[in-house]
Structure 1
Amino acid sequence: MAKGKVSYSCGLDAAVDVVGGKWKPLILWALHEAGTRRFGELRRDVSGVSEKMLIQQLRELEADGIVHREVYREVPPRVEYSLTGLGQSLNTALLPLGQWGDDFMSQILRNREHPRTGPA
């Protein structure tokens, strides 16, 4: 998420700005799969993410209107995260990309293990 005045060259540029990075798509998928989640549940669902990074990514997704943060005034305090309508539509757009990854994961791994050299 960029700060200040932003302009995009195309829709893909805007979408990648919102969902770019390693963790945001995984956070979106976790919320899609499980629905409303507390912070600790999300941290377990998104394997490998640090607490600091998860907080940062959730703040950016909230600022972009993708994730809703609900704070319950109780002891101990409870905070829950869920997808907004905009977030649900973004996940719908990401489904074909996830399917592509599932379909070609083994080929991608093979290519990374044995990179080609020289011109294609």
Structure 2
Amino acid sequence: MPGTIQVGGKALLPFIINQTDLLAGTSFEFVAPFDGFLDGVDGIVQAAIGTGGTLQVINKTTNVAGAVANVANAAAKGTPFSAKANDQDATRPIKKGERIQLKPTGFATSGAVNGYVTLNQGM
């Protein structure tokens, strides 16, 4: 698993969620590398999805408003997905060292995904 990728004032926090964790609804965990604002999630289907679901960015234990990506039923390998947090929303700010989660919900039968959560620097 690659580490955090920093581009300008942004960090791309990579994730890989295998079929076992996707179907079980096991969240992928990150640690914020700096103070900033959670911006959203971008990814791609790595293994075909049977029953689709959602991937929600979570700030500690609070859902980040707008940062929930939908992955359709029968999404083929290579299908992209993304979701952007609502601008100026109070759920976006996070401090260095705090917990970030990406939580899959509703997936069943098959699939795997990968991608990154974006964190913008500043506060």
Band the TM-score falls in, shorter-chain normalisation: under 0.3
When you count strand as a share of all residues, which structure comes out higher? Answer: 2
The structure number with the bigger radius of gyration is: 1
Structure with higher RCO (Cα < 8 A, 6+ apart): 2
| TM-score calculated relative to the size of structure 2 | 0.26
TM-score (norm 1): 0.26
